[in-house]
Amino acid sequence: MENNQCKKTTYSSKEFADLDISRFANSSRDKKPTYSYRCKKCLGWHITSRDNYQTKLRKVEKELFEVKLLLESKDKELLKRIHEVKNLKTEIELLKKKR
């Protein structure tokens, strides 16, 4: 997929990314890439060193937690609505009986 957002090398599959990691393993670079991950922006695969990976992992975990909180608040809202509808139903039943 074409994408200008990612300046990193993009691989079309995990296999290709991992292949490059094994190539870097024999190089003399300081920060050797050790992890491959799926990129949310370009949907391709990138490789990164362990430190970068941990940072990304924490970021994703934080996002996941925020989504969880959002869903829980929506759940509460929904339960409140259901409760309101139930109350209305009861009221209607009472009104019917009074007639």
Site residues for Zn ion per CB under 5 A: 6, 39, 41-42
Least CB distance to Zn ion at residue 4 (A): 10
Nearer to Zn ion (CB atom), residue 5 or residue 83: 5
The residue of the chain with the least Cβ separation from Zn ion equals 39
**Cα distance between residue 38 and residue 52, in whole Å:** 14
Nearer to Zn ion (CB atom), residue 41 or residue 62: 41
Nearer to Zn ion (CB atom), residue 6 or residue 21: 6
**What's the angle, vertex CA 7, arms to CA 65 and CA 39, rounded to 5?**
35
**Cα distance between residue 29 and residue 24, in whole Å:** 8
Q: Which two tokens stand for residue 30?
A: 């300081």
